[in-house]
């Protein structure tokens, strides 16, 4: 693939959007390659995905403005569908996806990060929905997901004013879970860049997820995502069903068995939970 890198590290996988010369902007080819990459994730092995952008400067600087600028109405709709299909694929992907946001996350970049389960970012990250200034509305779910993730008031302020926000503000409004900085030695020499530390933090979180019972984690994702789309009475039924399903898994028997055995080692949950 030209614009997407895929790397598996034990039970986690890292997808890198690799179009650094255009700040990883999403053109049709990137979207196609992302879709194909997701289709080929080995779900028997991989338990958590990390999505990031190549380089230190940008996660994704939005949809490709050069490609979009000449679209007809019909082509615009087709491009929008391509993007929305990939974003929904990420959002409903069976295993958790962490967005490691390394710099600009603008327009479609902010939107793709919001299709992931969890966002952490480097201290130089910048989030924004600049579409209103470009004469369009956010088209990859921005009006919907931002208003659900942060308060509707903040979402409206960001979208109506097209103002970018920095990492600290993104943390304050709950758009990201954590902001990761560079580290330096006592003399002030950088020992690890923000991007390096960001990836280390994302991998640590991903490994923490990968250590848990995989079917339980998948069911949690499903319960949260599907439950949020409906009223509490129906949501509780969704949870009950997914809770019940866990009792048909070896993981549940092993997990609870380990606790009852009072085996300290095993209680750490690093036991090899089986996928099926
Ligand atoms: N598209 C294409 N190329 C981009 C790009 C983008 N979004 N962002 C940056 N680049 C390219 C630049 O053109 C430049 O290319 P060269 O000139 O070197 O060939 C290279 O990346 C480096 O960018 P800059 O020279 O501009 O770098 P700076 O450090 O000066 O500025 C910046 C960085 C991120 C502030 C700036 O590049 C910038 O403002 N970029 C655009 C950000 C933006 O407005 N993003 C939102 C795009 S709109 C739809 C669904 C979804 C969407 C639309 C429709 N439908 C349903 C149909 C989504 C829309 C968007 O995402």
Q: Are residues 112 and 154 in the same domain?
A: yes
Q: Are residues 188 and 255 in the same domain?
A: no
- Whose Cα sits closest to atom 27 in ligand 1? 23
* Any ligand 1 atom below 6 A from CB of 128: no
* pLDDT for 276 beyond 70: no
Query: pLDDT band at 268, cuts 50/70/90?
Result: very low
> Would you call 64 helix, strand, or coil by DSSP?
coil
* Any ligand 1 atom below 6 A from CB of 131: yes
Of the candidates 195, 210, 225, which is a domain's last residue?
A: 210
Residue 249, phi then psi, degrees to nearest 5: -105, 155
* pLDDT for 229 beyond 80: yes
Mean pLDDT of the chain: 94
Q: Are residues 58 and 147 in the same domain?
A: yes
Q: Are residues 203 and 243 in the same domain?
A: no
Q: Are residues 227 and 200 in the same domain?
A: no
Can you give the residue range of the structural domain that contains 119? 4-210
Domain of residue 43, CATH code? 3.90.226.10
Q: Which of 2, 75, 111, 186 is catalytic?
A: 111
pTM: 0.95
Report the pLDDT value the prediction gives residue 257, as an integer from 0 to 100: 86
Q: What is the pLDDT of residues 175-186, one digit of tens each?
A: 999 999 999 999
- Which residue is associated with the tokens 């085996």? 263
Q: Which of 44, 77, 131, 240 is catalytic?
A: 131
- Cβ-Cβ contacts under 8 Å for 98 (sequence gap 6 or more): 48, 49, 50, 51, 116, 117, 118, 119, 120, 202, 205, 206
- Number of folded domains that form the chain: 2
Q: Are residues 63 and 119 in the same domain?
A: yes
Q: Are residues 111 and 228 in the same domain?
A: no
Q: Are residues 66 and 140 in the same domain?
A: yes
Nearest atom (ligand 1) to Cα of 71: 57
């Amino acid at each position: 693939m030209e614009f997407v890198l895929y790397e598996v590290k034990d039970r986690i996988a890292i997808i890198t959007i690799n179009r650094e010369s255009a700040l990883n902007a999403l053109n049709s080819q990137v979207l196609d390659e992302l879709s194909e990459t997701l289709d080929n994730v080995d779900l028997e092995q991989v338990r958590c995905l990390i999505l990031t952008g190549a380089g230190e400067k940008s996660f994704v600087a939005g949809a490709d403005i050069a490609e979009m600028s000449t679209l007809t109405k019909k082509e615009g709709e087709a491009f929008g569908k391509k993007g929305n299909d990939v974003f929904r694929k990420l959002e409903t992907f069976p295993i958790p996806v962490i967005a490691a946001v390394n710099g600009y996350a603008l327009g479609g970049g902010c939107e793709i990060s919001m299709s992931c389960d969890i966002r952490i970012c480097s201290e130089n990250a910048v989030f924004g929905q600049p579409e209103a200034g470009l004469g369009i509305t956010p088209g990859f779910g921005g009006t919907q997901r931002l208003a659900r993730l942060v308060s509707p008031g903040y979402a409206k302020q960001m979208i109506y004013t097209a103002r970018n926000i920095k990492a600290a503000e993104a943390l304050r409004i709950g758009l990201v879970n954590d902001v990761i900085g560079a580290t330096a030695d006592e003399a002030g020499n950088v020992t690890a860049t923000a991007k390096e530390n960001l990836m280390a933090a994302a991998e640590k979180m991903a490994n923490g997820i990968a250590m848990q019972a995989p079917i339980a984690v998948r069911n949690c994702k499903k319960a949260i995502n599907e439950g949020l789309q409906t009223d509490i009475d129906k949501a509780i039924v969704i949870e009950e069903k997914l809770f019940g399903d866990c009792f048909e898994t070896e993981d549940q028997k092993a997990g609870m068995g380990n606790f009852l055995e009072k085996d300290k080692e095993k209680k750490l949950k690093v036991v090899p939970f089986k996928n099926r």
